[in-house]
Amino acid sequence: MAAVVYVLNGPNLNLLGKRQPEIYGTQTLADVEELCRSTAARLGMTADCRQSNAEHELIDWIQEARETAAAIVINPAAYSHTSVAILDALNACEFPVIEVHISNIHKREEFRHHSYVSSRADAVIAGCGVQGYELALTHAASLVRGG
């Protein structure tokens, strides 16, 4: 059976393509999820895509992934900068974790420069737009294969 990669998107990313196109582009969350599913399929994997505005729901999905997934690609959005709880949940995972940011958080406000999640992530992709999800899945596939 194909390895499953959870693609988790955090708060407000359901608004992708509807506001602030100058920062986040014009593609919607549905477009991003379709890109992830087709990329994963090309790599012989299955992408299970979910978005939540609730910290506890993201944590529940990370814990669920420990039983069912081979890797996580996560854009924790604003929780990147605030959530020790999401970091703790990811620290309990033994598989590859790739962090994605659509924008280059280091080029933006000071408070976006630090991400708790980055201290656990095996790789961090920022500033590549939604193509970052494709890059993250490609890297996740090579880590899952032991590369």
Contact region for ligand CA2 (CB under 6 A) — 48-56, 62-70, 83-91, 95-103? 95-103
The piece of 19-27, 48-56, 57-65, 139-147 that touches ligand CA2 (CB under 6 A) is: 19-27
Is residue 20 a contact point for ligand CA2 (CB under 6 A)?
yes
- The size of the interface with ligand CA2 (CB under 6 A), counted in residues, is 16
Distance CA 130, CA 115 (A): 19
Nearest to 97 by CA among 126, 77, 78, 125: 125
Q: How many CB atoms lie within 10 A of CB 57?
A: 14
Q: Name which position in 35, 62, 105, 125 contacts ligand CA2 (CB under 6 A).
A: 105
Could you tell me where the beta strands, DSSP code E, fall in 45-145? Answer: 45-51, 71-75, 97-101, 123-126
Query: Per CB under 6 A, does 39 bind ligand CA2?
Result: no
Residue 133 appears among annotated catalytic residues: no
Give the active site residues: 24, 101
